[in-house]
Amino acid sequence: MNIAALLTSAGINIAVCVVLFSLYSVLRKQPGNVNVYFGQRLSSQYSRRLDQCLERFVPSPSWILKAWETSEDEILATGGLDAVVFVRILVFSIRIFSIAAVICTVLVLPVNYHGGERMHTHIPFESLDVFTIENVKEGSKWLWAHCLALYIITLAACTLLYFEYKSITNLKLVHIIGSPPNPSHFAILVRSIPWSSEESYCDTVKKFFSYYHPSTYLSHQMVYKSGTVQKLKDDAEQVCKVIRDASLENTCKPSFTQCWCSGGTTNSFKMISNEIGIDSVHGRMGYNDKHLDVRKKECPAAFVFFKNRYAALIAAQTPQSSNPMLWVTDLAPEPHDVYWSNICIPYRQLWIRKIATLVASIVFMIVFLIPVTFVQSLTQLDKLQKMLPFMTRMLKKKFVVQVVSGYLPSVILVLFLCAVPPVMMLFSAVEGSISRSGRKKSACCKVLYFTIWNVFFVNVFAGSIISQLLVFSSVTDLPTQLAKAVPSQATFFTTYVFSSGWASLAIEVMQIYPLLCNLFRRVILRIKDDSQGGSLSFPYHTEIPRILLFGFLGFTSAILAPLMLPFLLFYFFLAYLVYRNQIINVYIAKYDSGGQFWPIAHNTTVFSLIVAQVIALGVFGLKRSTVASGFTIPLLIGTLLFHQYCRQRFLPVFRSNSAKILVDMDRRDEHSGKMGDIYDHLRSAYNQSSLMQDASNQPQCFSHHEDKRNDMSSEDIEKGKEIIQKDDRPWYVNRTLSSKAVLGAK
Amino acid sequence: MNIAALLTSAGINIAVCVVLFSLYSVLRKQPGNVNVYFGQRLSSQYSRRLDQCLERFVPSPSWILKAWETSEDEILATGGLDAVVFVRILVFSIRIFSIAAVICTVLVLPVNYHGGERMHTHIPFESLDVFTIENVKEGSKWLWAHCLALYIITLAACTLLYFEYKSITNLKLVHIIGSPPNPSHFAILVRSIPWSSEESYCDTVKKFFSYYHPSTYLSHQMVYKSGTVQKLKDDAEQVCKVIRDASLENTCKPSFTQCWCSGGTTNSFKMISNEIGIDSVHGRMGYNDKHLDVRKKECPAAFVFFKNRYAALIAAQTPQSSNPMLWVTDLAPEPHDVYWSNICIPYRQLWIRKIATLVASIVFMIVFLIPVTFVQSLTQLDKLQKMLPFMTRMLKKKFVVQVVSGYLPSVILVLFLCAVPPVMMLFSAVEGSISRSGRKKSACCKVLYFTIWNVFFVNVFAGSIISQLLVFSSVTDLPTQLAKAVPSQATFFTTYVFSSGWASLAIEVMQIYPLLCNLFRRVILRIKDDSQGGSLSFPYHTEIPRILLFGFLGFTSAILAPLMLPFLLFYFFLAYLVYRNQIINVYIAKYDSGGQFWPIAHNTTVFSLIVAQVIALGVFGLKRSTVASGFTIPLLIGTLLFHQYCRQRFLPVFRSNSAKILVDMDRRDEHSGKMGDIYDHLRSAYNQSSLMQDASNQPQCFSHHEDKRNDMSSEDIEKGKEIIQKDDRPWYVNRTLSSKAVLGAK
């Protein structure tokens, strides 16, 4: 492939992008598409009517300006912490690849170009290989330039990563401190409640927690088997009726008090089943039968509420029983984040489910090699001609060659990759995650491993499945093998940036599938109602792996084939604009993982750096430059130490809240007298029936979101920031601050 | 090597053992050696005078009988939980290798012997190879016998492991519940206290915990830099004197109240330093200087005491600060278990220390290959003759050959291995463990990896250092390589059992080094005082790896070279008797890890099983028996699943106490009104100066051990057992029980 073919490929993609972006800028102004492109705004009831001026049919770049101008606080308010983390990943990528692009264009590219002794032709017809490290002759003294560039890139990346991690950690803490009372802070999820023949799970939970946590236990709420909630409600109503009849006869008035230990009305009749005998009932079914029926539908899981946040954290973190398989506690997810159907999975199954999912994912990754191997063969035209002789004549046309070798492989790969996220999401659901954000995070990791393995390693070690597996059996040869393979695959990766990267952004902004659905509804079904708000939540599990994959390709190719960097940088700029636009306008943040994606991004970036260094080590070895190899090893060790440091400096914040912050928050709320309201709210927060309905068919109105993170006032944020910034001071300075905050709150 | 050589080797060892054991049975009766052989009894002041009958100089097997008859409860009372775990490891080994020996002798040995088509000579001159799997011809249908034996051994091992783990877990819980109040349950160790220019660490800690844990914080005690404690005490006394003079002049009486936040008398003058101005002092040094001086000697670490066990657990497990590098909390070790010099290590250094120790251990392991390679060459006489031509004539004598090939290599290896535990202990100390038991556990793991790597893998893959490293670069070939190498090394491992195993037991029981020291003291120095009690604690870090190594050799050789099993079984029997004797008589249990060695033993055993299966897989592959290979794979998967199950069923109990148990214990003590005494005791429990003196020169009297585990009454144990056995019942049954226990205690 030469420069001309590369530019052809780039040209096709730019054209496609421009067309799609223009189309988007027109489509978004059409009132009919408002629920496709402004789901977020619809849900927050900002402004139903958009600007309906005459310029409706003229493409305009106004959305780009809007996306550019939005501040981080707005992103935080609209998309939650995860959206901010996502944008930060993009910002980090832009920064580091700007540095890399400058360094590599100035330092590495000329060395590569003039490294060999070959005669240079006219640049457009120059092979792309001339710009890679392959062109540098063996034993060249100029390899120090590559080593220096690697040093600069690594140091810059580590520095940026450190400050990003620090700032995101702070942001997370500020967010927690400043956020209004969240039911999930007061609740824990208890699973694997021991079965007793004498009592229902509900009673067992109540007795256990009121005995072992007497001062802090508030109430609890059982979880019922999925699908039975509605049925239970109906049954309960029926039984209530029966009881009322019965009580009239017996002249004893049943007390219909709200059962604290139940989720509302579902099993309130249990409390009075002892008062009234079976004989007195004239219903079709006795109470005890009914009672047993309810007990059968109870899961051995419950949400337990505590009087303050710190107590909930303690109960979640301390093993409750001496048998680790009983009374398993976790912090509860936010109400809208609960993945109800997984909560009832017996805890004993979870470990085997996790192993099974792991095995299934690995098998899926290996089976997927088949299409990838086929795709890879397309870039090697001579092989293809041998395999499919009838295409020989077609392949003689220059344009066809350029399309086939430059564009088609990537498109096929992208199409195949589309099937991956749903499969991984399914695996993560089977795995037994209790929260929707947890499931998404788990799927994100799986898709990430999958993508890096299938796009990078398999393409690099192209060939039969057997040979690919054998590559990994010889660990010590890995750097050399990578060093041989990566530079020659740089062309493919460059085209992959166009086809998968740029095009995917255009498709993302167009929202083709919802657009078609909407069209179908309006044109075929003739439904005019556009109040059906957007129901999509941000697909972090597909977008984060994609961005991290491009980062990975960028790091590994930076000093080997620096020609890719400008295209990559353009991709990240475009992604920055597009995703900001999508966060503001399209996706609804129904649940939030609290920035859990950042550690994934951090780890992947460090992994990318290490792979880049290992490849560089191999290349320097192949080029017989002992000095450069020697200098790379300390860099490798330094990067690993940096990773280890970050792990222990920042990661614990993402795993658990600290006593200090929670106690401060509890005190603040106690002083301001909010606790009563919070307790009232807790009773209804985890209402299984309404929340499950929410999850299945989208809610029309998001008014019960009011108490969520989204309406965190800027004052709260400032308050939190203040507390956090002072965190390294001795504690008593903070005390003064927080007591000031409390006074201020009063 | 033939049967005769093997028996020669065994004969030499049996002779040595018999002589040494007889010598021991005489020596232990000599009054002069009482502090060598009865350190444990001396320390517990049982009976100073032993039976001084006329038979003092006649060897007798009475100690064997005594060791055999001792019950587990006695072992628990004398040696603590760790000793019980140690004995249980031996019992497990005896059980599983009895099964293995029977199965392999009946099933595998005949198949091996008649497997080949060679003519058999007279058995004593039969090569040992005839009894290994190497003798079975390729494609033999009799390999199912090996596969069946492997299945039986694996299933038996897993079943035994499961029940052992369960019973040790129960024992641990019973032990915790039944034990008298232990200061370590109420204390946490806080490290990395933030530095403040205005306050001492002592004040910072006091303010932090009384603000964030107001209802449960009791007191705390600073840790001072090692070596400065005594000096501080002297200084304090001097300053007290100065103050007294000053106060007389100012007519203001200083209050010499015990400073709650200090460790006793050390810095009590701090409390009054504000009352009296500098001017009023006529001492050589101003108070503020002195104050600053004390502050300089304070470590940023403290023991913080809580009002109940549950509060201490909570504080230890919850991150206290939002910066994970500040206010790091851990459960405090028992007072005698504290490793004082490591507590002052800045917490920031720990991660880098851990990495450095890891790297150092790996380097040490690799450097150690040199002597091992030399040892290995001794078993190959032809190589040796080439290397050292002058020995050719000597090596022609049959006896010399048998000694050199059968005995010498093991002796050299054992001598080299003697150097390993002290080095690993040093590494573990540098690593920064806060408790002595933790250091020992860490050293145990290091020695274990080291031993298995150096004795097994390196001997198996004999050859140059380079080729050994290369072996591990091709992972997929590993089973085949192991299958080729292990059977041929079986002879060496069998002799290793004699030389290292049996001989080490004889040396262990003889206590050669303390015996010589004692002789030196009595004969040369003419010190007649025998009140100097034994000072040795059980060397778990050398003995557990040794036993596990023999288990590892047993599992991997069982079906390949079953001739080793009887010798191994004999070793375990002997070890059972010897170590029980040593636990009862010699070693003092100054500190206890609470059974933390069992998970190590469990993991190693499972690892041994898996290696055995992988080797079997390779052997079956080499012998072209697809059926046997096919059946081995599910066994491998099953073993891994079993391991994973045990990890999650039992391991958490060894990591942390449960809320339920601690709350029950707290309630029991509260009801019985013991809390006041406990608090009083807490004040002096972690007295740094006396404990550090203890650690450096051995205490003459162990009266302050009274409150330790050793005097747990059998009634307490019964009570605990009762509670635990009921643990799977619903909680309220337990409540009745524990309230009964409380009433009983009243």
Instruction: Please give the distance of CA B449 from its chain centroid, rounded to a whole number.
Output: 14
In the sheet that holds A187-191, the strands lie side by side as: A217-224, A298-306, A187-191, A328-331
Containing B424, the helix (H) or strand (E) segment is helix B420-431
More confident: B252 or B486: B486
Q: Please name the residues in contact with A501: beta carbons below 8 A apart, sequence gap of 6 or more.
A: A546, A550, A568, A571, A575
**What is the reported pLDDT for B157?**
95
Looking at the complex, does the CB of residue A75 fall below 8 Å from at least one CB of chain B? no
Which amino acid is residue A706, in one-letter code? E
Rounded Cα gap, residues A493 and A557, in angstroms: 9
**What is the reported pLDDT for A268?**
36
Query: What is the percentage of chain A residues whose pLDDT exceeds 90?
Result: 20
Rounded Cα gap, residues B494 and B568, in angstroms: 8
**What is the reported pLDDT for A641?**
94
Check if the beta carbon of residue B460 is closer than 8 Å to that of residue B556: no
**What is the reported pLDDT for B448?**
92
Pick from B317, B320, B475: CB nearest A475: B475
More confident: A6 or B45: A6
Alpha helices in A213-251 (DSSP H): 228-250
Q: Terminal CA-to-CA distance of chain A, rounded, Å?
A: 70
Low-confidence stretches of chain A (pLDDT beneath 70): 1, 43-57, 116-121, 123-124, 226-296, 372-373, 375-396, 402, 405-407, 410, 459, 461-476, 528-534, 692-746
Rounded Cα gap, residues A24 and A506, in angstroms: 9
Looking at the complex, does the CB of residue B634 fall below 8 Å from at least one CB of chain A? no
Pick from B318, B727, B735: CB nearest A314: B318
Record: contact B324-A650, CB cut-off 8 A: yes
Q: B218 to each of B303, B331, B687, B717, how far by Cα in Å?
A: 11, 15, 16, 29
Record: contact B211-A650, CB cut-off 8 A: no
3-state SS class at A433:
coil
Looking at residue A511, the DSSP 8-state letter turns out to be T
More confident: B461 or B636: B636
Check if the beta carbon of residue B518 is closer than 8 Å to that of residue B36: yes
Rounded Cα gap, residues A647 and B98, in angstroms: 47
Record: contact B355-A314, CB cut-off 8 A: no
For residue B71, which phi and psi values (nearest 5 degrees)?
Answer: -90, 165
**What is the reported pLDDT for A695?**
54
Rounded Cα gap, residues B145 and B122, in angstroms: 25
A217 to chain B, closest Cα gap in Å: 14
Q: Which residues of B5-25 are buried (b: 16+ CB within 10 A; e: fewer)?
A: bbebbbebbeebbeebbeebb
More confident: A653 or B264: A653
Which amino acid is residue B678, in one-letter code? I
Please tell me chain B's helix, strand, coil percentages from 3-state DSSP, rounded to the nearest 5. 70, 5, 25
3-state SS class at B93:
helix
**What is the reported pLDDT for A712?**
44
**What is the reported pLDDT for A270?**
39
More confident: B388 or B552: B552
More confident: B663 or B135: B663
B621 to chain A, closest Cα gap in Å: 18
Please, which residues bridge with residue B338 across strands? B435
Record: contact A645-B351, CB cut-off 8 A: yes
Rounded Cα gap, residues A249 and B609, in angstroms: 71
Rounded Cα gap, residues B224 and B266, in angstroms: 10
Conformation bin of residue A293: beta by default, left when phi > 0, alpha when psi is -120 to 50? alpha
For residue B297, which phi and psi values (nearest 5 degrees)?
Answer: -85, -15
Report whether pLDDT(B188) > 60: yes
| CA quadruple A597, A598, A602, A604: dihedral, nearest 10 | 10
**R_g (Cα) of chain A, nearest Å:** 30
Looking at residue A284, the DSSP 8-state letter turns out to be S
Q: Which residue has the tokens 């040892």?
A: B375
* ipTM of the complex model: 0.78
Sequence spans of domains, chain A: 3-181+350-655, 183-333
Q: Which residue has the tokens 């349950």?
A: B185
Span B514-528, average pLDDT: 78
Total length of chain B: 746
CA atoms within 13 A on the CB side of A276: 29
Conformation bin of residue A187: beta by default, left when phi > 0, alpha when psi is -120 to 50? beta
Q: Please name the residues in contact with B627: beta carbons below 8 A apart, sequence gap of 6 or more.
A: B143, B144, B147
Write out the DSSP string of A520-533: IIIIIS--------
Write out the DSSP string of B193-209: PPP-SSS-HHHHHHHHH
Read off the pLDDT of residues B12-28 as tens digits, 9 standing for 90 and up: 888 888 888 888 888 87
User: The whole model's pTM is what?
Assistant: 0.81
For residue B340, the tally of other CB atoms under 10 A from its CB is 22
Please, which residues bridge with residue A127 across strands? A2
**What is the reported pLDDT for A480?**
77
Rounded Cα gap, residues B377 and A31, in angstroms: 86
**What is the reported pLDDT for A75?**
87
To the nearest whole number, what is the mean pLDDT of chain B? Answer: 76
3-state SS class at A584:
helix
Q: Which two tokens stand for residue A166?
A: 């620090």
Residue of A nearest to B652 (CA): A324
Report whether pLDDT(B96) > 60: yes
Q: A129 to each of A562, B178, B548, how far by Cα in Å?
A: 11, 75, 57
Q: Which residue has the tokens 């052809």?
A: A8
Record: contact A324-B477, CB cut-off 8 A: no
Rounded Cα gap, residues B28 and B32, in angstroms: 9
**What is the reported pLDDT for B744?**
37
Rounded Cα gap, residues B341 and B643, in angstroms: 37
Looking at the complex, does the CB of residue A648 fall below 8 Å from at least one CB of chain B? yes
Read off the pLDDT of residues B298-316 as tens digits, 9 standing for 90 and up: 888 899 999 889 999 999 9
More confident: A525 or B698: A525
Mutation site, B199, B209, B322, B362, interface A, largest A CB count within 10 A: B322
Pick from A194, A644, A659: CB nearest B351: A644
More confident: B373 or A66: A66
Q: Which two tokens stand for residue B493?
A: 């491992």
**What is the reported pLDDT for B588?**
83
pLDDT band at B551 (very low <50, low <70, confident <90, very high): very high
Rounded Cα gap, residues A300 and A344, in angstroms: 7
Q: B216 to each of A102, B20, B305, B367, how far by Cα in Å?
A: 59, 57, 9, 52
Rounded Cα gap, residues B439 and B349, in angstroms: 17
Span B48-65, average pLDDT: 65
For residue B183, which phi and psi values (nearest 5 degrees)?
Answer: -55, -30
3-state SS class at B594:
coil
**What is the reported pLDDT for A455?**
76
Report whether pLDDT(B564) > 60: yes
Residue of B nearest to A322 (CA): B658
Range name among A300-304, B511-515, B690-694, B727-731 with the lowest pLDDT average: B727-731
Alpha helices in A183-227 (DSSP H): 183-186, 201-212
Q: A528 to each of A34, A226, A510, A525, how far by Cα in Å?
A: 12, 34, 21, 9
Q: Please name the residues in contact with B49: beta carbons below 8 A apart, sequence gap of 6 or more.
A: none
Report whether pLDDT(B293) > 90: no
